[in-house]
Amino acid sequence: MANPKDYKIATLASHTALQILKGAKEEGFETIAICQKGKRKPYESYGVADKIIEIEKFEDYFEIEQQLIDEKAIVIPHGSFVSYLGFENVKKIKAMHYGNRNIIEWESDRSMERKWLLDAGLNMPKLFDKPEDIDRPVIIKFNGAGGGKGYFIANNPEEFHKRMEGHPDAERGYVIQEYIVGVPIYTHYFHSPVTGELEIMSFDKRYESNADSVGRIAAKDQVDVGIQTTYTITGNVPIVVRESLLPKIFEMGEGAVEASKKIVDGGLWGPFCLEAIVDPNLDFFVFEISARIVAGTNPFVHGSPYTWLRYDEPMSTGRRLARDIKEAIEEDKLPEVLG
Ligand code: AMP
């Protein structure tokens, strides 16, 4: 029988690397952290890495890739892979790679992503083709705007044009999306090709600066000080949802997995996340999918209430991932989880 001990687990030391590496160790793998110079401290302090490979910057990943191949390391992609290497380069990874790399293009392009999610039967915020059609609150999202910088809300075409005049990002390209008044709920799923099952691992909401702080001062002060809302992520806050919402949330995840099989060979597997705003009618408006582990799983290094229901042992998403790999190796199905 193939032995998990013959393989190692490696990832870029950022984003969700702590729980990925810890989870891999819990499942019996040796681990490798690929660190940027000067940033190795957390990976040493928490003892999650058996080996640290240093590079100047994450973009230099390919310079050390042969080492990973020689060590039979399985690379776990996360948000930093996509943001530092870009989906085109992620496709060029030659080391063993967990997950379907062909799906990443579908989450990186807003219109492809929308097609996927609508095919999945998910409810999404309406899109407006032109400003003249604005008949309700909308959010204007500029392409490539880090942290949602420059996003603004408008209620009608006049407000849109007024805010757009002289806007520093006006030339960038943008979408006009219905603004949903509700609460954000981000669902962390795991779909295992080994068991064929979809699991709900946990939920979070993001802690965004300054969006999560403007409400702490009076409306008048917000106007007087001229605050522009931004959505720079600083952390994640765990959530437990109303139990009666769970059947619907399972259905949504299953829809996303089913639809993924129609767009990419093999479809989506492993961890993924649906990002939604839930309105007072308890309708979910999904505005994004992340087809990989998200940082919102980080509060659950020791498991979440949901993983505790299913596993009577601590089960982070990172560990779940490693278990999927371990079971695939033991059942001689490793190629099924690599992509
Ligand atoms: P994004 O850059 O698309 O991730 O959006 C940044 C933040 O804006 C999200 O974290 C949400 O809190 C919020 N947001 C995005 N789209 C909508 C929407 N259609 N309605 C309400 N809030 C939204």
174 lines ligand 1 (CB under 6 A): no
Question: What pLDDT score does 185 carry?
Answer: 98
- Whole-number Å distance between alpha carbons of 260 and 276: 18
Sign of CA dihedral 259, 260, 263, 267: negative
Angle (CA) 29-34-39 rounded to 5° is 125
102 and 133 both lie in a single domain = no
**DSSP bridge partners of 273:** 188, 290
Domain hosting 296: range is 4-122+182-209+236-337
Cβ proximity of 311 and 23 under 8 Å = no
145 and 273 both lie in a single domain = no
How many domains are contained in the chain?
A: 2
300 and 175 both lie in a single domain = no
**35: region left, alpha or beta (phi > 0 left; psi from -120 to 50 alpha):** beta
- The two counts, helices (H) then strands (E), for the chain are 12, 14
Question: What pLDDT score does 288 carry?
Answer: 95
**Average of per-residue pLDDT across 222-251:** 93
70 and 91 both lie in a single domain = yes
- Whole-number Å distance between alpha carbons of 326 and 319: 10
Q: How far is the CA of 247 from the centre of ligand 1 (A)?
A: 24
**Average of per-residue pLDDT across 162-183:** 91
Q: How far is the CA of 139 from the centre of ligand 1 (A)?
A: 8
33 and 55 both lie in a single domain = yes
Question: What pLDDT score does 260 carry?
Answer: 98
98 and 200 both lie in a single domain = yes
- Whole-number Å distance between alpha carbons of 247 and 254: 11
326 and 297 both lie in a single domain = yes
Q: How far is the CA of 250 from the centre of ligand 1 (A)?
A: 22
pLDDT in tens, 3-13: 889 999 999 99
Which of 122, 123, 178, 277 has most ligand 1 atoms within 8 Å of its beta carbon, as the pocket-test mutant? Answer: 277
**Looking at the predicted structure, is the pLDDT value of residue 1 above 90?**
no
For residue 208, the ligand 1 atom closest to its alpha carbon is 10
> Please, which pLDDT band fits residue 55 given cuts at 50, 70 and 90?
very high
Task: Give the CATH number of the domain where residue 191 resides.
Answer: 3.30.470.20
Average pLDDT, the chain: 95
> Please, which pLDDT band fits residue 43 given cuts at 50, 70 and 90?
very high
Q: How far is the CA of 26 from the centre of ligand 1 (A)?
A: 35
102 and 223 both lie in a single domain = no
> Please, which pLDDT band fits residue 201 given cuts at 50, 70 and 90?
very high
Which of 169, 210, 231 has most ligand 1 atoms within 8 Å of its beta carbon, as the pocket-test mutant? Answer: 231
Question: What pLDDT score does 148 carry?
Answer: 80
317 and 204 both lie in a single domain = yes
> Please, which pLDDT band fits residue 209 given cuts at 50, 70 and 90?
very high
**Average of per-residue pLDDT across 224-251:** 94
Both tokens of residue 35?
Answer: 């660190």
Terminal CA-CA length for the chain: 22
Cβ proximity of 130 and 160 under 8 Å = no
For residue 178, the ligand 1 atom closest to its alpha carbon is 19
**Looking at the predicted structure, is the pLDDT value of residue 192 above 80?**
yes
Comparison of pLDDT for 90 and 27, the residue scoring more: 27
> Following DSSP, what letter does each residue of 15-51 receive, concatenated?
TTHHHHHHHHHHTT-EEEEEEETT--HHHHHTT--SE
Question: What pLDDT score does 29 carry?
Answer: 97
For residue 285, the ligand 1 atom closest to its alpha carbon is 19
Task: Give the CATH number of the domain where residue 161 resides.
Answer: 3.30.1490.20
255 lines ligand 1 (CB under 6 A): no
323 lines ligand 1 (CB under 6 A): no
pLDDT in tens, 91-133: 899 999 999 999 988 988 889 999 999 999 999 999 999 999 9
140 and 100 both lie in a single domain = no
- Whole-number Å distance between alpha carbons of 304 and 40: 27
Both tokens of residue 104?
Answer: 């990443």
Is the pTM higher than 0.75? yes
172 and 284 both lie in a single domain = no
Cβ proximity of 211 and 231 under 8 Å = yes
Question: What pLDDT score does 305 carry?
Answer: 98
DSSP 78: B
275 and 218 both lie in a single domain = no
